[in-house]
Amino acid sequence: MEFERDTISSYETVAEATLSQEETLESIVPDACPDILRIVDVCGQATLSGKQAKEGMAQVTGMVRASILYQPEGGGGLRRVEVGLPFTCQAEAPGLTERGTVLARPRLCRAEARALNPRKVLLRVDLTVDITACQPVERPVCGGVAEPEESGICQRRFQGENYLLSAVQEKPFTFSDQVRLQSGSGEAPVLLAARTQPVCTESKLIGSKLIFKGMVEVDLLLQEAGGGLSTSHESMPFSQAIEVAGADGEGDCQVEVEVTSFQCVPGAGDGRELDVNLELLAQAQARCRRPVTLLQDLYSTSHLMEVERETYQLCRLGEQSVRPQAVRELLETGEMVRSIVDARLALGPVSQSREGKELVLTADTWITVLYLDENELVQCIQRSIPVSCRLDCSEGAKCSCFCACPGEVFAAPAAGGVEVRFTVEFHCLTTESSTVPAVTSAQLGEARNAGEGQRPSVVLRMPAPGEELWDIAKAHGTTMERILQANELEEETLPVGRMLLIPSTR
């Protein structure tokens, strides 16, 4: 027998993990900087240096660039110490090989420093790294027998749809722009800290090309000539295209852009222009719905058969949505807050729990606010705020979720402290899996009537509970059509409590 066979090429997600780890580093204050009186804040940026797919393991490396802001002995404005802290993390990924692809999203959740002495600091950072390991797979499927009439083959086929991860692609690209500081006409301000966040706002498949657009959000903390602090926020658009192998112009795509290198340095001229240079990495996943035909079962009306089977797993899209959650909190300071200098938000890991039919997603967020107290001294307050989102999701479904914080964080003085407001977006993708029995191969054996003598031409029997017409026809080596015709039935649904005439095939 010849079979109609096909090969389905896709990617399998062999690991999806969120790793949290702590890193520490001792650093010496440069000779050109004054001694430390008091550390005020640490502003940092986690960048992605490299990724590697190994046998059963996904490895990610990166760097935390931190600006330690402190008040020096002897007075004056804030000073900064730049520190680079490398990190490496690994996740187990059974089934991953060197042909696989690792997608990574490092985030700096929290950074703090303390002075060991006036010339030495200890930096501690809490990191979260989202890792997804994808392995290319090719799975052969059997759709049916090529010429079933030759051996009296009856076959049962499943026709459905499979939601596949059809392509995983990435593209490094560079981004440069210039920021003009909007300050007075006097001496140019000093850049104390800078952080950036690229955000993909739109992505679309056009043929084999994935077009994506977004914004690079840059936040600057500045110190004016008189010692006062100010902030500047810049949004810079970008647009890129990726050639996606395996895409057919239809489907869903998700693009995340990560920073691999970031520089913000004074430009030429009057010092009020800053050159922003970034190296970015776009990581894209494309999913699509594709029809699938599987040979579920078969038999011959003339011969016995040896059939080999396996189960085939199908995936169905449940829900794909973005769920914004507005947050409003009071951060108690225990002192009067005169004014707000800066506010920033860091997103930690997302945990999942179940309450009845609902899936509860909870993201840990770290809010940091710089403010001036009643004595005009710069103070810093940090708080962890859990943010939850609920969605209807069956127990057998799988949910992939990542969070983003669109827009700026609002902070204002309030009675007892600082009131903060921000929005966290939960990007949710739920899928449900099911298994379908499928035939992989079959061989014809001896004739059905070999050594049996003369078989009766008609059998009279009562269907067992739950028995289908296919099962009866297969057991007696006849066809469903002959049973329907013999019993004057028009549908395959068997009548309850009625004996059936089952003609044999000779």
Q: Per-residue confidence of the chain (506 residues) as pLDDT tens digits?
A: 789 999 999 999 999 999 999 999 999 999 999 999 999 999 999 999 999 999 999 999 999 999 999 999 988 899 999 999 999 999 999 999 999 999 999 999 999 999 999 999 999 999 999 999 999 999 999 999 988 888 889 999 999 999 999 999 999 999 999 988 876 667 888 999 999 999 999 999 888 889 999 999 999 999 988 889 999 999 999 999 998 876 666 788 999 999 999 999 888 777 788 999 999 999 999 999 999 999 999 999 989 999 999 999 999 999 899 999 999 999 999 999 999 999 999 999 999 999 988 999 999 999 999 999 999 999 999 999 999 999 998 888 999 999 998 888 999 999 989 999 999 999 999 999 999 999 999 999 898 776 555 566 788 888 888 889 999 999 888 999 999 999 988 888 888 888 899 987 65
pLDDT in the model for residue 240: 96
DSSP 148: G
The pair of structure tokens assigned to 462 is 């009562």
> What is the SS3 assignment for 481?
helix
Contacts within 8 Å (CB) and 24+ apart, 464-468: 467/494, 468/492, 468/494
CA-based R_g, the chain, Å? 32
Helix (H) or strand (E) holding 165: strand 153-180
- What is the b/e burial string over 448-470, where b = at least 16 CB atoms within 10 angstroms of the residue's CB? beeeeeeeeeeeeeebeeeeebe
> What is the SS3 assignment for 150?
helix
252-266 and 273-300 beta bridge pairing: antiparallel
Q: Which CATH class is domain 455-506?
A: alpha beta
Q: Within a 10 A sphere around the Cβ of 506, how many other Cβ atoms?
A: 12
Q: Which whole-number Å values give the CA distances from 233 to 207, 222, 340, in the listed order?
A: 36, 11, 15
Return d(Cα 139, Cα 5) in angstroms, integer: 11
pLDDT in the model for residue 452: 54
- Tokens 């090989």 sit on residue: 97
Segments making up each domain of the chain, as ranges: 3-136+164-288+317-433, 455-506
CB contact at 8 A, 77 and 221: no
**How open is the CA angle 118-122-126, to the nearest 5 degrees?**
150
pLDDT in the model for residue 494: 84
Which residue type occupies 75?
A: G
| Half-sphere CA count of 338, side-chain side, radius 13 A | 8
Q: Which whole-number Å values give the CA distances from 327 to 226, 330, 334, 425, in the listed order?
A: 35, 10, 22, 11
> What is the SS3 assignment for 448?
coil
- CA–centroid distance for 446 within its chain: 54
Which residue type occupies 410?
A: F
Cα dihedral 242, 244, 248, 252, rounded to 10, equals: -70
Of 361, 404, 430, 410, nearest in space to 200 by CA: 404
Contacting residues for 455 by C-beta, under 8 A, at least 6 apart: 449, 504, 506
Return d(Cα 346, Cα 405) in angstroms, integer: 9
pLDDT in the model for residue 246: 67
CB contact at 8 A, 297 and 310: no
- Tokens 């606010």 sit on residue: 369
CB contact at 8 A, 169 and 242: yes
Within 267-357, strands assigned E span 273-300, 303-332, 337-355
> What is the SS3 assignment for 420?
strand
DSSP 471: H
- Tokens 């800290």 sit on residue: 193
Burial of 418 (0-12, 13-18, 19+ CB in 10 A): buried
Please name every residue paired with 260 in a beta bridge, in sequence order, or none if there are none. Answer: none
Helix (H) or strand (E) holding 476: helix 469-476
> What is the SS3 assignment for 494?
coil
CB contact at 8 A, 431 and 316: yes
